[in-house]
Amino acid sequence: MLSNKAKLPTTCLWVVIVMVTLWATTNVVVRSLASVPLVFFLPGSALLRALGIHRSLPERYVLAIGLSIAVTILGGVVLHSARLLTPLGWAAWLSGIAVTGSLAAAIRGNAAPVSWQKPAIELRHWALVSAAVIIIVGTSLLAVERSEHGYQPFRYTDFWMVPDGPARSGAFTIGVKNAEPTAHDFDIEVTLDGRTVAVWRGIRVNSGQTLTRETMLPTTGRKAEAWLFKSNDPSLVYRKVSAAVGDARNG
């Protein structure tokens, strides 16, 4: 069995593998295969060794998996509060605990020999189970409380182009509604049958704000299109709408 000092570089190596994988590829399968040990085993195993908890091999594996899951649940609460629920945020959280625990275990020295005695359910086992239940229930209640008070499932930018009505033939209103949490600068381009007829640059739309622009289009045209770009990324079409001009019907 590897000593605590020997397991430290092994843990660090796997952390490096996960970080390199996150940087090198966006493939979900590859990322998942590299991250499974970091999510379900390494943090719990490091904490057991750091705390000096010595049990039979089957018990140690079960406890390591259980502790890793508990660390992951706690990480969800912490990262959500810090707005870091990203692959890099998860990697930093789990890697930090795994490396810190392994370092503490290496400082403590070698673990005691593994015992193959049949595990017996004792009072401390029930205490650990109760603590796990309390943590799970507490985080669930916290998640529900947050969802009721702060969860906004439809945070997006809406974009539309509608005719002003039969009384004003060729008049169209173009609108942008920013329901995202931050302000954005937008560019709008309007084309008629593929020819650019109107352009607005650098339109600042604050969070929760709705902004409209009116444009007059020749009724001899057939199809009008409005393109919405973020000013800092003009190569990407953020939203696109169209309308039929001759009969003033939305497209």
Q: Are residues 21 and 99 in the same domain?
A: yes
Whether 27 and 113 share a structural domain: yes
Query: pTM higher than 0.75, yes or no?
Result: no
16 alpha carbon, distance to own chain's centre: 21
In a domain, 143, yes or no: no
Is position 129 within any domain?
Answer: no
Q: Count of domains in the chain?
A: 2
Distance CA 187, CA 211 (A): 12
Domain termination residue (choose one: 95, 119, 143): 119
> Which residues form the domain of 218?
157-250
Domain ends where: 66, 91, 119? 119
User: Within this chain, do residues 88 and 17 fall inside the same structural domain, yes or no?
Assistant: yes
Instruction: Return the CA Rg of the chain.
Output: 29
Residues of the chain where predicted confidence (pLDDT) is lower than 70: 1-6, 109-122, 125, 136-137, 139-154, 246-251
Q: Are residues 105 and 43 in the same domain?
A: yes
Predicted local distance difference test score (pLDDT) of residue 228:
93
Domain membership flag for residue 134: no
Residue 136 lies in a domain: no
Residue 113: its pLDDT value, please? 45
Query: What pLDDT, on a 0 to 100 scale, did the predictor assign at position 114?
Result: 44
pLDDT value at residue 205: 92
Q: Return the C-alpha torsion angle 138, 141, 142, 147, nearest 10.
A: 160
